[in-house]
Amino acid sequence: MTAFFLIIVITMLVLFALYAKRSKSDFPESLIMQHSPIKIGHRGASGYCPENTMASYKKAIELGADFLEVDIHLSKDDVLVVHHDPTLDRTTNGKGNLRDYTAAELKELDAGSWYHSRYKNERIPLLREVLENFGSEVGILIELKHPSAYPGIEEKLAEELGKFQECSTSKNKIMVHSFDMESMKRFHQLMPDIQVGVLIKRRINDQKLKEIAEFASFLNPKQTILSTKLQMRIQKHGMKVFTWTVNNKKQIHMFKMMQVDGIISDFPDYFLD
């Protein structure tokens, strides 16, 4: 009886060991516990609306985004405004550098007609307007564009977020990232409670990863350089991974299976499949 019992136990142990040894990819997807990365609407829902406009943010929320990704610059009178390019020509009827215009002058511009005439009333949003209008509904992922061109922009952002957080209940739903590691380090010193990340589009060595991990909560690689190996290296350093900009449903699915922490896309509805 004891021998029989032992044989059963050993058989079960062997079967379990074989089962555990199989790689995750051997399993049908339906058996893998569903992983839901954070859905981040790139410049809102810029696949459907003029990027970085209130219309684009509303659409992203409607389509189920958890976070809005928002690019920021400083106007001539040092107001934080939401826009992607440092120049106005591509997405507004203005000309030249955004930095040469006051916030009031920027507000005069049409930021929607370049996309479609039905968006002719869209304006360049102020960061404050985005926070006030959407900050209680969804998370906001703020990207500092070219911060070295705007000395003091980190302080300005800390001041703005400080004001917003005072009258907000959603304290944990703001994150900040940039390609500029030094800028993120500075911002982290000013507001250690807000999670920061560093964007990368090229390979990174372990020394750099270690340096970034000292202040950053996430490291966000361009999708074309993200492999399982890189993901594991980033996570080993204690950081999360948000990849960008993924506009293909199959790739979104693949990154979901890889269990990345967040995916940035122009099409927040592509996550549903």
Pick one of ligand G3P, Ca ion, none as the site partner of residue 188 (Cβ within 5 to 8 A by kind): none
User: Rule CB under 6 A: which of 17-76 touch ligand G3P?
Assistant: 42, 69, 71
Q: State the minimum distance, in angstroms, from the CB of residue 244 to ligand G3P.
A: 4
Cβ neighbour number for residue 45 with a 10 Å cutoff: 26
Choosing from 42, 73, 83, 188, the catalytic residue is 42
Q: Is 42 assigned a catalytic role?
A: yes
Residue 66 in the binding site for Ca ion (CB under 5 A): no
Q: State the minimum distance, in angstroms, from the CB of residue 71 to ligand G3P.
A: 5
Residue with Cβ nearer Ca ion (75 or 265): 265
Residue 156, Cα to own-chain centre: how many angstroms?
21
# residues near ligand G3P by CB under 6 A: 9
Residue 127 in the binding site for ligand G3P (CB under 6 A): no
Residue 266 in the binding site for ligand G3P (CB under 6 A): no
User: Rule CB under 6 A: which of 182-201 touch ligand G3P?
Assistant: 199
Cβ neighbour number for residue 130 with a 10 Å cutoff: 23
Nearest to 264 by CA among 35, 29, 47: 47
Residue 244 in the binding site for ligand G3P (CB under 6 A): yes
**Binding range to Ca ion, per CB under 5 A, among 25-33, 72-80, 140-148, 228-236:** 140-148
81-87: Cβ within 8 A, 24+ apart: 81/106, 81/124, 81/125, 81/126, 81/127, 82/52, 82/124, 82/125, 82/126, 82/127, 82/130, 83/52, 83/111, 83/124, 84/43, 84/51, 84/52, 84/145, 86/145, 86/146, 86/149
Pairing state between β 67-74 and 80-82: antiparallel
Residue 110 in the binding site for ligand G3P (CB under 6 A): no
Residue 71 in the binding site for Ca ion (CB under 5 A): yes
Helix intervals (H) in the chain: 2-21, 54-62, 103-107, 127-134, 153-166, 181-190, 206-213, 228-236, 249-257
Is residue 49 within 8 A of residue 114, CB to CB? The reply is: no
Choosing from 35, 73, 83, 84, the catalytic residue is 84
Residue with Cβ nearer Ca ion (35 or 90): 90
Shortest-Cβ-distance residue relative to ligand G3P: 244
Pick one of ligand G3P, Ca ion, none as the site partner of residue 264 (Cβ within 5 to 8 A by kind): ligand G3P
Is residue 63 within 8 A of residue 269, CB to CB? The reply is: yes
The residue ranges that bind ligand G3P (CB under 6 A) are: 42, 69, 71, 84, 143, 199, 244-245, 264
The residue ranges that bind Ca ion (CB under 5 A) are: 71, 143
Enzyme catalytic residues = 42, 84
